[in-house]
Amino acid sequence: MLFISGQMSFVKMNQAVGIRAIAVNFPESVRTNDYWKKNYPGLLAELDRKNQNLRLFDNDAQENSNWVQAVKPYREDIFRGALERRVLGENQTSISIECGAIEKVLQARKLAASDVDLLISCAMFPEELVIGNATSIAKNLGFRGVAWNLNATCGGALLALENAVALIRDKRFKRVLVSLSCNYSKHVEYTNSFSFTLGDGAAAFIVEKLEEGQGLLHSYSTNTYDTCGVIYPRFTVDKMGTPKVLVTVNKETVKDVTSLLIKYFQQCCQKVLSESGMKVGDIDYFIFYSPTAGYVDFCALELNIPKNKIIDIFPQYANISVVSAIAALYHAAALKKIRKDDLVMIYSHGFSGSSVASIIRWGDVALGPAPTPSENLIPAPVGAR
């Protein structure tokens, strides 16, 4: 069932369809804060003099005490709460890491690519901006099924899940594979402090019929047109004259970012709970997209959720866009924070895209192998509190 009002939609699923397997695939190259300390000490000194620490305090945000409390520990941190971030190797692309995630999720589910009916790729950014990654991935895998691209910026994963569930429920397809990738390191210069908070990675999940009562139960989404132009791609050329896209922040409109983060979170989470007839206390675990340090803690404070019901992967991965929510879901399940038949609420937003809140009932989900350990993954598992 699909209910649409203006730019908003609420979906209630009547059949048991949802995620059956998840895998993540991160580059082995890890960039810690020492990279900038060793290679760009002058940059850090200049930033320190200019006090360009975490700038996430517009006037409206100052009025939200939960936001102020959540991000207070990071205001004086030049690296904005990130400890490390994965970055693509010299010969890696968003296509290659998506293919790696797909291979891992197929192995976890003990399937071949030919067992999949539809491939949906959500890339931020695709290697070929006009075409997207889907058909290139299909070519690399020898996949002859249907292949689509879906773009809702950082909110794409949950919209892809929603579409996959609807298509299976309507008997268009039996099994859908969704792949996600983020290659920010190729689109932000390391001398830009914005790069401190961005990372690369990929994930994939398989959607199919599940046991009765499991899978995607409810979903609410809205477009985010208020954010158009806040962060945008700027076209340039590199030293070799090759066209290049750089992620650019609009210094005039970025001051409104915080209040918009708060607005979309409140709207989507409140709506999906009210329309589903559920309360916060009914949910066993929560997954929140983590674009900045402290954002997951803010979400928990807003909904009055205990910290043992959330996971924050930002310190170890930084902002990994469309991959973030599914990577957090993977790590929560790997840490056994989520168990079969638990109700899980997932929220993600994308600037110039969509914000989505979904409620799922966790089933028997196969997990791919854990990422290669790193300095900060070894002493404490990702998201451990």
- Cα-Cα-Cα-Cα torsion 356, 384, 362, 27, nearest 10 degrees, comes to 70
In DSSP terms, 2 is beta-bridged to 11
Q: Are 331 and 211 in contact (CB under 8 A)?
A: no
Q: What's the helix, strand, coil split of the chain in %, to 5?
A: 35, 25, 40
CA distances from 52 to 31, 80, 185, 318, 348 (A): 21, 10, 21, 18, 27
- Contact assessment for residue 301 and residue 362, using Cβ atoms and an 8 Å cutoff: no
Token couple for 326 = 């599914």
pLDDT mean for each 10 residues of the chain (385 residues): 44 81 96 95 86 51 84 88 94 97 98 98 88 95 96 93 97 97 93 92 98 96 89 81 82 78 93 96 97 94 97 96 98 97 96 94 97 70 61
Q: Can you tell me the distance from the alpha carbon of 204 to that of 215, in angstroms, rounded to the nearest whole number?
A: 16
Helix, strand counts (H, E) of the chain: 11, 16
pTM, full prediction: 0.92
Q: Position 194: which residue type? A: F
According to the model, what pLDDT value does residue 239 have?
79
pLDDT of residue 128: 81
